[in-house]
């Protein structure tokens, strides 16, 4: 049976991806930063789908821990067929008043954290000459957003990372893509003011916020064999926000 690994899988988009992958027949390992109860709930949902699930606590900023949990997941479930690099944070605020720590946290978690887990996974996939990596970017990384200079920079960096790595590992049969969600109803968007939310809805062609499941479906597609001729691409899942 295929095996998938999802970082930041205890809630939101990561949890939806983990459960959708289980529904598609994958055994699934997830990581979480602090939400142990949320991770346990996701594992139960994976098992309810008839698949094996495991969860590991990990700080996305720690490259040694990333390598450890990849090895532990493969020991528990088998070689990885798919990786969803999803772990992420926001530290919103005006750029002119943002200190260095606030700027760097999304860079270290969202961008460097994706690299830390992609590196050991890509090595194993390259040896086996198969596999799919999907990183979660954001439409904000392409169009920007006031008050999110740090987050936008981290998500724009994901695009460059994905496209570079895709070229490196394609000769080994490994695909690397990104999904760029728009406004998805998660804890990261719960902090939006009503005015900001309404402004974004007015710009979204489908006139609603997305749900985590709206992102999970495209992620599962990119992980699977039906996307076998797709690599180095960024798929917008934004309800028409970027039109």
* Residues with a known catalytic role: 151
CA distance 168 to 196: 40
DSSP 96-136: GG--HHHHHHHIIIIIIHHHHHHHHHHHHHHHHT-EEEEEE
Q: Which helix (H) or strand (E) holds 176?
A: strand 174-181
**Runs of H (alpha helix) within the chain:** 12-23, 36-48, 63-77, 100-106, 113-128, 140-143, 149-169, 194-203, 212-223
Q: How far apart are CA 163 and CA 242, in angstroms?
A: 20
Beta bridge partners of 181: 237
Dist CA 65 CA 69 (whole Å): 6
Report how far residue 34's alpha carbon sits from residue 109's, in angstroms, rounded to the nearest whole number: 14
Nearest partner of 65 among 10, 7, 130, judged by Cα: 7
Q: Do 165 and 133 meet the contact criterion of CB atoms below 8 Å apart?
A: yes
């Amino acid at each position: 049976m295929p095996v998938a690994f999802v970082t930041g899988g205890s809630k939101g988009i990561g949890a939806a991806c983990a459960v959708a992958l289980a529904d598609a027949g994958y055994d699934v390992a997830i990581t979480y930063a602090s939400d142990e109860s949320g991770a346990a709930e996701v594992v139960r949902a994976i098992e309810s789908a008839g698949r094996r699930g495991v969860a590991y606590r990990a700080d996305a900023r720690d490259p040694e821990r990333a390598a450890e949990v990849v090895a532990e997941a493969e020991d528990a479930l088998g070689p990885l067929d798919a990786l969803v690099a999803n772990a992420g944070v926001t530290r919103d605020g005006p750029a002119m008043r943002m200190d260095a720590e606030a700027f760097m946290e999304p860079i270290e978690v969202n961008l460097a954290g994706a690299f830390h887990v992609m590196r050991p996974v890509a090595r194993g996939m390259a040896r086996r000459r198969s596999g799919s990596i999907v990183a979660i970017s954001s439409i904000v990384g392409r169009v920007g957003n006031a008050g999110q200079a740090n987050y936008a920079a981290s998500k724009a960096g994901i695009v460059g990372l994905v496209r570079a790595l895709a070229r490196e590992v394609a000769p080994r049969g490994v695909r690397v893509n990104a999904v760029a969600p728009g406004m998805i109803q998660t804890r990261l968007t719960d902090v939006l003011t009503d005015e900001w939310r309404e402004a974004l809805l007015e710009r979204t062609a489908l006139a609603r916020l997305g749900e985590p499941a709206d992102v999970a479906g495209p992620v599962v597609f990119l992980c699977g064999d039906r996307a076998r001729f797709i690599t180095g691409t960024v798929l917008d899942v934004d309800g028409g926000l970027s039109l």
